[in-house]
Structure 1
Amino acid sequence: MKKYLWLAPVMLLAAACKPETDNTASLSATPTEIEFAATGGAAQTIAVTAKNVAWDYSVPESTGAWITAEKRDGGLSVMAADNMSKDGRTGQIRIFAENNDKVPAISITLRQAGNADAPDLYLTVEPASLTFEGEGAAPQEVKVTPSVETLAWSAAAEDDAAAWITVEEGNGTFTVSVQDNPEESRRTGRIIVTPSEPSAEAKAVIVVQEGKIVPPSLTVTPTDPLAWEYDDLNQAYLTVTAVNCTWTAKAVDEEGKATDWISLTPDKNDTQLNVRPATRNTTASSRSGYIIISVDAESVDEVRIAASQTAAPDHFSTFNNDIDLNTLGFSWARSNLNPRYPDDLFLYPWSSWEINILSDGVNFNPNTGKFDGTGHKLSFNIITDRKELNDEMNYVIPDGDYIVGPAKPAPEDPDDLATSDPFTILQGRKTSSFWAPYQGFWYMALTDGATDGDMAPIITGTVTITKQADGNTLYRFDFDLTDDMNNRITGTYEGSIGLYVNGVQIPE
């Protein structure tokens, strides 16, 4: 026991005499600010003292454009390029400990004086714009000339243009290549030539690439033959697609000569062709021809579509002799007048009177707008100047001779056979309309409202209308007419005419 007690003080004394070890990491640098002359400045050294840590440095991109730094024993050697600008400039170098975030980094401030004798700095690019074909375009070269040899530059496509423009820098030039343009429309981009000195202005080269060339073509749908009944004036619609060319259309007969029985009307966008017979076929022979659509490109074939219209029946009249209207028992009449309102004047500068003269057995059904019963009906439309209420609050049909004839084309739409001059009556015609197959001037015999009896379209003639002095609604009608079988239809009706204006009875 005594032996161990003696050794303990000795061991404690030995431990107390062991020297201490300092493991603290630190980093310092001097100087922290360096001044450079505008030109010809020598390299300067930054002394770096690192204790228990390795160190490194970094130069920001903006500073690296004119500062060169090199790590050497005991510090950092720093060199400034000649300042070609009248303005001074400032930069920084950062010295930091490697893998030790606890040691603060050191910032070194670098200043360089402006150059009082600095030359003008600028770049010249030639050419300032380039144009490429849409496909298979060869590369083109741009020459860059700096005002001084020491002025460096770089070139790069700007923004989205970098996706299709490639720039390859050379010695005093750069070469521009473009990818094939996948679109038909042209595209534009820019290449920015940036000088190494901020005081010099950057230059832009405009790059234009044409759209890809699509060969001309013509497509028409449908191309099936077009066929109309003799009285069918309905339009057929052809969709026309012309690519990189302009199309035109014409109608020809079987011999290739121009024909006018087919009406062709392109739409305002030249994407559709409206086709229909110009008139109903009134002849006993069918007619045929072709619609030819062609373009102004020799490599594209024309499109030829057959068209035909059946022959007209010999006649619509069921009579083989003249007709005396006085024997048919006409006893009452009604009329409809449009328009009623003054603001309709823009659309309807005239007045149209729909007149029906009827025998006792025929009645008007207001629920259906049709005539029921069995008897005789004489229906026609007379055209007058626009009529308004007179001082006695009545509408009056002007006296005079009204001539039967065809409708005239509307001024704003030559294909719309819907107008006529005052003191005329639209002649009778058969249409393909399910709702109104008999339009214009017709005589018809009705059987229980059906129009399957005797009938005659009035084609020519005169109706003389005379207002009687002893009443606001009393008129005399003298008829001297001809149907489509050249039968004369004559007679007189004298009596009151019920007036309805837009469906309202006048006087109410």
Structure 2
Amino acid sequence: MKKFLYLAAACLLAACNGGDEPEQQPSLEVKPLQLDFAAADAAPQEITVTAVGVEWEYILSGGASEWVTVDDSREGVLTVSVADNPAQERRTASLAVNPQGNIKVKPRSVTIAQAGNDTPVVYSLTVEPAALTFEPENAPAQEVKVTTEGEGLMWSTEVEEVARGWITVTERDGGFTVVVADNPGQAPRSGNITVVPDSEAASPKVVRVTQQELVLPPSLDIALNNGASPEEGFVLDYRGQTDGDYNILVTAVNVEWRVSVRYESGTDEGWIKANAIDFDDDTRVSIVGGIENESPEPRVGWVVVSSDAEGVGSYEVKVTQEGKPDFISTLEEDVDFGQFTKSRIIVSPNDDWRHDEVTAWEIMCWDEGVEFIENPPFPEQPRFEGTGGRISFMLITEVLEKNDDNVYTRQYQRRRRRDLPAPHMAALRMVRPHGERRSQRRGLYPERYYDRDEYR
């Protein structure tokens, strides 16, 4: 609030003297500079503000407005009143009177002091209990009793922000009720409820709320990644190879588990490898084969997933390995291809860089409805077009090596061509450089082959 003080007499005198008197400088004075009040039933006191040529305002120090009241209804006078001091300690406040619009005029300050109370009023509160513990699920509500000391002392509750999602407080006379939501996690959680008094003379109190973790009963479950049941299990081919990855997904809760392998009585062992693997998002048992079954009969084993808890688990996952077939073919039944009229043979004999123990012959036959298309950059990768019958198979023979003439030779008993089927006739045709004559050695039929030569 801004105040002005005009000195009428001084103005009249200056006018009468025709300006002979010197002009008064702006100024600001306050009296007294300190007010002292009794602890209780203190009478109001006045501060006189004398201002010349300057506007002013007063400001009460922060927090003092709770017990200091200032009445500025009279011109140039501030009337100060204080509330009773309930505390034993002396308390003080500051009232500043500041000039406005003139930096040359110094501000003034008045100290307001009030004596401590010889018989102070004690404000306090207590909570009982100071800590609450709840079950993880379906926990009943619990009560907290709040006891206050000191006339008119009020209080309120505040739940800390991180716990507001699961702690609910309902206030009532003399205390409050606490309810918690179910704890879905497997770890305990806690939060604070603060009981805040409305007077600084009393200290706030904290109630600690703890909720126990959800303890799940021990359990062990498995699932096969191929969608089969444990009784159906996994199937390995006779070479021990799998159709993709074979995994047993393991879900274990509050239980330790292990994996082992057992085999059908009287059969070979060691052909199943079961490895437990822990990933960030799952735990699994990886099934690995890799050992060939030399027997034509299939063999069976089981991967056993068990736990250390009584009554939890175990599971047995069947693993079957097929027997070794007498021959390997994609044809599982008789197929009538009719009459083949064309053939193509590719042979891979040993040379300076190939040192195989056998020689492979790739034989292809087809009929008139199929067209063979050359592929010069890659002669071993021809194309076939059309509609008709075509068959491809591979023969393995004794190794073909170079002789002293630097040609590939293999000797065997000669047979008449008309006694051989068409594919064999193609295979037995002698290939030689142009102009070279066939050997006439009796009983022997030397044939010459060239690396990756093609026969039609």
The TM-score range, normalised by the shorter chain, is: 0.3 to 0.5
Larger % of strand: which?
1
Which structure's CA Rg is the greater one? 2
